[in-house]
Amino acid sequence: MAYGSGGSSAICMEGGNRLTGTVQIQGSKNAALPILAASVLIPDECVLKNVPCITDIDCMGNLLKSTGAVLDWQEHTLLIDAENIREYRLPARYVSAMRSSVVLMGALLGRVGEVLVDYPGGCVIGKRPIDLHLFGLEKLGAQIWTDKNRIHAYADELKGTTISFPFPSVGATQNTILAAVTARGTTVIQNAAREPEVTTLCDFLNKAGARIEIGYDFIATGKIVIHGVEVSALHGVTYEIIPDRIVAGTYLFAALGAGGSITLENAPVGQLRSVCALARRMGAVVESDEGQNQIAVRTDKYGRMKNVAFVETGVYPEFPTDLQSPLLACACVSEGELTIEERIFSSRFKVVEELVRMGADIEVLNNKRVHVRGVERLLGRSVIAKELRGGAALVIAGLAAEGITTVTDIGFIKRGYQDIVGDLKGLGARISYVD
């Protein structure tokens, strides 16, 4: 896979440029990963289009190959032939590199009835247990043994049942869906995650021959009904990965922070309502055209954005936790004060330390709340990315800062952004990869 960044390890930028122009939004990391895992269920070749060239996809591809699937990349199109899946033991080096490998459990249980996987460790944004994943799989009849760092799951036969999640976990919902597709009988999931990355997974599976029902009132009910089918009933499908709502939101906050007038092309307009509403409350002009998949964002020519008093992250369709750090970076240079409550993860303020080093006025009130007072300007300096969305937030801060900012450890950013430098350079930013 060819990355926009090549082998570079840092991003350097000179702040002060307003952003103008149009940017094409890449395919969604969080939609593509579970769909790649789902291909393991299908004894045929699938053609996935608009797959983002990012390291997490590379990692999932290596995991698929380790099970016996055959992959072939053609630019942003990925061909996956999972006719001969024979290995149920997943290599630790890839599992530990990417937590979302855990959704392969449901797919392998559904296809071969067994999986051996390392516990996907926590990360800087929180503990990230997988108890809800195991809850769903056990309800479907899987027997699960765990020791300190490995999980062995086995199912003679998965049986449909009713599964009510106490919390609408995205990954646990996806894992349970993948195991239920070929279970005997019908599975009803209650309080499923409503994120678009769940509905697009179900859409992909249905096009491949699964029988999954999601009602028009899914956002209200969180109910998914899955009628089990035989593996042999599943067939190859050509499917286009949806655009990445978090990448789109990242560039929207970059424009609010640096100022300017940009158009997000191929943007998932309907999935960004909470984000666009917030941008308007901050003083931006946001015009979205769902038919054209376009979002136009304009800030007053030279005015700073105005912070709203309080924002909390939540499950879809509330404000997404993955845009909490990009919002925080933009808020650092907006007028007024903002308190953010992070309701999804237990430790998602790691970027604060680096923003404060750039001159931001931020106080971490506790592991759930942070308070920011906007300042006239941030000062460019060398800062360290510590995780994916925090790294993107540092780029947003650098574009709004005075002087030169260098963001190091950009391997985190390359996990989810296909070419953040190329995208922003196309909007007029003075930015480049450096070694």
Count of residues that interact with ligand EPZ, criterion CB under 6 A = 27
Shortest distance, position 234 Cβ to ligand EPZ, whole Å: 23
Task: Name the residue with the smallest CB distance to ligand EPZ.
Answer: 171
Q: How far is the CB of 23 from ligand EPZ (least distance, A)?
A: 19
| Residue 171 touching ligand EPZ (CB under 6 A) | yes
Place of tokens 């509905």: 199
Per the structure block, which two tokens stand in for 244? 């990445």
Closest CA to 79 of 113, 49, 58: 49
* Per-position x/- string for 413-432, each x denoting binding to ligand EPZ as judged by CB under 6 A, each - no binding: ---x----------------
Residue with smaller CB distance to ligand EPZ, 33 or 264: 33
Does 58 bind ligand EPZ (CB under 6 A)? Our answer is no
CA distance 72 to 99: 24
A 10 A CB-CB count for 50 gives 20
Listed in sequence order, the residues at least 6 apart from 116 whose beta carbon sits closer than 8 Å to its beta carbon are 88, 89, 90, 150, 151, 152, 153
What is the per-residue binding string for ligand EPZ in 354-393, x denoting contact by CB under 6 A? ----------------------------------xx----
Residue 246 and residue 205: Cα distance in Å, rounded?
A: 23
- 142-176 b/e (C-beta count within 10 Å ≥ 16 → b): bebeeeeeebebebeebbbbebebeebbbbbbbbb
169 binds ligand EPZ (CB under 6 A): yes
Contact pattern for ligand EPZ over residues 8 through 37, marking x by CB under 6 A: ---------------------xx--x----
CA distance 85 to 70: 9
CB of 401 to ligand EPZ, least distance (A): 23
For residue 415, give the nearest of 388, 434, 393 by alpha carbon. 388
Q: Which strands, in side-by-side order, build the sheet including 361-366?
A: 310-312, 337-341, 369-373, 361-366
CB of 125 to ligand EPZ, least distance (A): 6
Tell me the per-residue interface mask from 194 to 213 with ligand EPZ, x by CB under 6 A, - otherwise: -x-x----------------
Q: Based on CB atoms, which residue is closest to ligand EPZ, 45 or 195?
A: 195
What is the secondary structure of 34-79 as a DSSP string?
Answer: HHHHHGGG-SSEEEEES----HHHHHHHHHHHHHT-EEEEETTEEE
144 strand-pairing partners: 153
Question: According to CB under 6 A, which one of 38, 151, 172, 264 is a site residue for ligand EPZ?
Answer: 172
Answer yes or no whether residue 333 interacts with ligand EPZ by CB under 6 A: no
Q: Which of 46, 53, 59, 123 is catalytic?
A: 123
Mapped onto helix, strand or coil, the DSSP state of residue 253 is helix
Give the integer Cα–Cα distance in Å for 180 and 91. Answer: 24
Q: Distance of CA 10 to CAs 163, 410, 428, Å? A: 45, 6, 19
Least CB distance from residue 415 to ligand EPZ, whole Å? 8
Q: Is 332 a catalytic residue?
A: no
State which of positions 175-194 bind ligand EPZ (CB under 6 A).
193
Binds ligand EPZ by CB under 6 A, chosen from 121, 129, 185, 303: 129
322 binds ligand EPZ (CB under 6 A): yes
Q: Which of 207, 212, 200, 89 lies closest to 154 in space, CA to CA?
A: 89
Nearer to ligand EPZ, 192 or 378 (CB): 192
User: Least distance from C-beta 108 to ligand EPZ, angstroms?
Assistant: 17
Q: Which residues bind ligand EPZ (CB under 6 A)?
A: 29-30, 33, 100, 126-133, 167, 169-172, 193, 195, 197, 321-322, 344-345, 388-389, 416
Residues carrying an active site annotation: 123
